[in-house]
Amino acid sequence: MKWRVTDKFKNGMPWNGAVTGYKIVNGRYEIISGEAEIVRLIYELYLSGLGYEAIAKQLNQSGYATRNGKAWNHGSVLWILHNPAYTGNLLLQSTFTENHITKKWKKNKGEYPMYVVEGSHDAIIPPEIFNAVQEESKRRAEKYLHAENQQLSPFSGRVVCGSCGYHCMRKKRHNGYIWICSTYNNKGKDFCASKAVPERVLTAFAKEIGYENIERIAVCNNNILKFVLTDGTEITRQWEDRSRSESWTDEMKEKASQRRKEQWQEKRSPSSRQPSTEKRDN
């Protein structure tokens, strides 16, 4: 089987047709017009400033589905934006299966030869658009890594949603960081009605339990957190929501105070005290 796949690669033939926008006809990619429009839309949305999750959310809200009839997500959008096949060129054997038992896909980092075939099929995305997306992706990655508010958290990779099982992602809010289910964030509460947990809550419990002892944290309903420890034991904690007044930052309080002053000054302005010219009923 591996020999047959490699032989196809050597002859510039793709192994399968699992590329949105194309189908294989006589060993060559041919464009599927409907899917190609979705691919072009994804590139357009990314260059307009949207991220992977935002693009997936917009596609799902617009009623678009993947080739397999599933909802779009971060991974499916990312794969399309970084696949050189859309430029009409092929990079073959860029990934491989680890073995026939696990069937796990791995990125080819020199374990096997790769084959480049230029002009192998009609392009959906012009090379200049594809290159612009790659440059924009690098720019955003550098900005993410160097931004102060995006520093790696000790909870990265450890927080999962207790409702749907997907990992939770870290997001910044006006009053600090929160950890929110990626399904809820990308698709909405119709797909997962979980609740975000403030990072300050995770930090408080982690200090009590010990960061080094925590393997995984499940965010469950009713403000319950389940800490699975490295030795297999499980600890459950419940947290309370802050009142609205407690959640206000100094900056928010200052803005609210300024608004009240402006409203008070507006009421005292001469124009607001001018007598009405309308006739009154006797």
**What integer pLDDT is reported at residue 262 of this predicted model?**
75
Q: Is a pLDDT exceeding 90 seen at residue 63?
A: yes
Reference 219, options 231, 228, 207; nearest CA is 228
Give residue 204's pLDDT band: very low, low, confident or very high (50, 70, 90): very high
- Those residues whose C-beta lies under 8 Å from the C-beta of residue 163, and which sit 6 or more positions away, are 181, 192, 193, 194, 220, 221
Mean pLDDT of 245-271: 66
Mean pLDDT of 1-19: 55
**What integer pLDDT is reported at residue 212 of this predicted model?**
85
Mean pLDDT of 48-58: 90
**What integer pLDDT is reported at residue 60 of this predicted model?**
93
Give residue 140's pLDDT band: very low, low, confident or very high (50, 70, 90): confident
Q: Where in the chain is the domain with CATH 3.90.1750.20?
A: 2-146
Give residue 275's pLDDT band: very low, low, confident or very high (50, 70, 90): low
Give residue 251's pLDDT band: very low, low, confident or very high (50, 70, 90): low
Q: Tell me the CATH number for domain 2-146.
A: 3.90.1750.20
Mean pLDDT of 188-193: 84
